[in-house]
């Protein structure tokens, strides 16, 4: 994925966040130059992979298959130094993009439409062998519980949310013509390196082609403290 496209996605997400009236913590605005002087007092950001995360799932088709994310807060399941058991993210899906079918073994999360267009989330239970189960899916949305047939796309309009349980397959797309969507995610501690089970074999992080300087560093790019 080209760095120029990553920079473009970040700037577009910053604009949508501003439009929706959401305020980011200061570290989300740090420049690469800022990070050169950041000491060990910022190790929680480094160790827990807080900050920007732009992915094309290793497929090189970000405009079709991709997601833009910011992890705002998170614990760390591999480091007892950090005992925070919860996480929060913002995510942007652009019109025409798709985020592929996956589940989490451990994490339960609420996905919230924070603003923009209408989100579509397709749901399947996971069968014991990891395939898509054909049984009806239990849906929990803002205090309402109901069942839908396997493969149903549940619509989230701005302000609505859905609870995603472990082993519940889900993907993300946008209702055509409604515009980019800003999502919120409130969840248990997040571990993107080990707790994503994609239905199709995909990567999680992009291979970056450096065609211009970075506008913001991604969450795996921070220099170590001096």
3-21 pLDDT, tens digit each: 999 999 999 999 999 999 9
At residue 151, the pLDDT reads: 98
pLDDT for the residue numbered 88: 98
Q: What is the pLDDT of residue 33?
A: 97
Per the CB < 8 A criterion, the answer to whether 151 and 124 are in contact is yes
What is the reported pTM? 0.95
Q: What is the pLDDT of residue 203?
A: 80
Closest CA to 27 of 18, 15, 35, 19: 35
CATH class of 3-22+30-198: mainly beta
Give the span between the Cα atoms of 112 and 186, in whole angstroms.
Answer: 8
pLDDT of residue 192: 87
Domain ranges of the chain: 3-22+30-198
What pLDDT does residue 84 have? Answer: 94
* 54/13 Cα distance (integer angstroms): 10
Predicted local confidence at residue 80, as pLDDT: 87
β-strand pairing of 99-103 with 197-198: antiparallel
User: Residue ranges of the chain with pLDDT lower than 50?
Assistant: none
């Amino acid at each position: 994925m080209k760095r120029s496209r990553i920079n473009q996605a970040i700037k577009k997400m910053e604009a949508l966040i501003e439009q929706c009236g959401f305020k980011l913590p200061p570290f989300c605005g740090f420049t690469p130059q800022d990070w050169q002087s950041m000491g060990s007092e910022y190790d929680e950001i480094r160790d827990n992979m807080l900050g920007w995360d732009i992915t094309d799932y290793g497929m090189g088709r970000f405009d079709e298959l991709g997601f833009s994310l910011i992890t705002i807060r998170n614990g760390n399941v591999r480091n007892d130094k950090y005992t925070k058991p919860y996480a929060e993210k913002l995510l942007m899906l652009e019109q025409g993009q798709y985020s592929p079918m996956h589940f989490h073994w451990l994490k339960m999360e609420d996905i919230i439409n924070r603003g923009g267009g209408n989100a579509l989330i397709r749901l399947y239970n996971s069968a014991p062998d990891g395939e898509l189960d054909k049984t009806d899916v239990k849906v929990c949305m803002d205090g309402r519980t109901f069942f839908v047939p396997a493969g149903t796309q549940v619509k989230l309009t701005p302000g609505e949310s859905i609870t995603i349980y472990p082993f519940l397959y889900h993907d993300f797309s946008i209702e055509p013509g409604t515009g980019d969507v800003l999502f919120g995610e409130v969840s248990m501690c997040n571990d993107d390196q080990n707790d994503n089970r994609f239905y199709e074999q995909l990567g999680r992080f992009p291979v970056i082609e450096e065609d211009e300087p970075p506008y913001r560093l991604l969450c795996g790019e921070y220099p170590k403290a001096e």
